[in-house]
Amino acid sequence: QVQLQESGPRLVKPSETLSLTCTVSGGSIHGYYWGWIRQPPGKTLEYIGHIFYTGNVNYNPSLVSRVSMSVDTSKNQFSLRLYSATAADTAVYYCARHQNGGTYPIDHWGQGILVSVS
Amino acid sequence: DIVMTQSPLSLPVTPGEPASISCRSSQSLLQTNGYNHLDWYLQKPGQSPQLLIYSGSIRASGVPDRFSGSGSRTDFTLKISRVEAEDAGIYYCMQALQTRTFGQGTKVEI
């Protein structure tokens, strides 16, 4: 069973960079799209973007100027960087896997990590 | 952005009774390949979201058959034929035609 686990600092200062890593276990990172989604406290979900295992990326236009994703297939990990963080970036961040085919739905989610910008 | 609008935002339900959630998109989610780019997720209290339905009407692996999705283009519905206590949580629709966007969520309370 594929499992995803987010890791990284839970507290980030304003104007600094929010950095998270997702470790994939129980399956290979090869052949799939991997995404990041966030959820501010009490609010709905926001899609940040995704990265293919080859490194091709697609970012939410609302965040494209501040976001970067990368993948390390040797470690079965992918990462998120969000630059110039503000209080509005405080949220639970989920890493996720997109199922292949059709609408490429999100079929596996990490447990989420709450990151506060303060 | 494609805006997703769910109704109702709160839905009290009784175990054994049916329930229905509506989701509307600001533009058609039907592609030429025949797929509707609309998924449904359930976020149970304290948990990550889980996939229920994709492509508008296809149940994800392991999802009970009391859940069904229907609709096309801009109007979609998630139905639970007989609600069980474990179905409590927040249900989200999400469009996957462009940069993914989610509805506001519908809180189902038993």
**Are B60 and A107 a contacting pair at CB < 8 A?**
yes
B103 Cβ under 8 Å from any chain A Cβ: yes
CA distance from start to end of chain B = 33
Q: How far is CA A104 from the centre of its chain?
A: 16
Rounded distance between C-alpha atoms, residue A38 and residue A93, angstroms: 4
- Regions of chain B where pLDDT drops below 70: none
The tokens of A79 are what? 């990462």
Contacts of A60 in chain B (CB under 8 A): 99
**Are B58 and A61 a contacting pair at CB < 8 A?**
no
**Are A47 and B102 a contacting pair at CB < 8 A?**
yes
B51 Cβ under 8 Å from any chain A Cβ: yes
**Are A112 and B39 a contacting pair at CB < 8 A?**
no
Among chain A residues, the shortest Cα distance to B102 is held by A45
Q: What is the pLDDT of residue B77?
A: 98
Using an 8 Å Cβ cutoff, are B72 and B35 in contact?
no
Which residues in A have their CB inside 8 Å of a CB on B? 44-47, 58, 60-62, 94, 99, 102-107, 109-112
Residue B101, judged by CB atoms within 10 A of its CB (0-12, 13-18, 19+), counts as buried
**Are B55 and A44 a contacting pair at CB < 8 A?**
no
Residues in chain B: 110
Contacts of A104 in chain B (CB under 8 A): 96
pLDDT over 90 (residue A3): yes
pLDDT-based confidence at residue A103 (cuts at 50, 70, 90)? confident
Query: What mean pLDDT is reported for chain A?
Result: 97
Q: Parallel, antiparallel, or unpaired: how do β-strands B49-54 and B58-59 relate?
A: antiparallel
Q: What is the pLDDT of residue B32?
A: 87
Contacts of B58 in chain A (CB under 8 A): 102
Using an 8 Å Cβ cutoff, are B17 and B109 in contact?
no
Q: What is the pLDDT of residue A101?
A: 83
pLDDT over 90 (residue A102): no
pLDDT-based confidence at residue A78 (cuts at 50, 70, 90)? very high
Q: What is the mean pLDDT of residues A101-110?
A: 92
The β-bridge partners of A65 are none
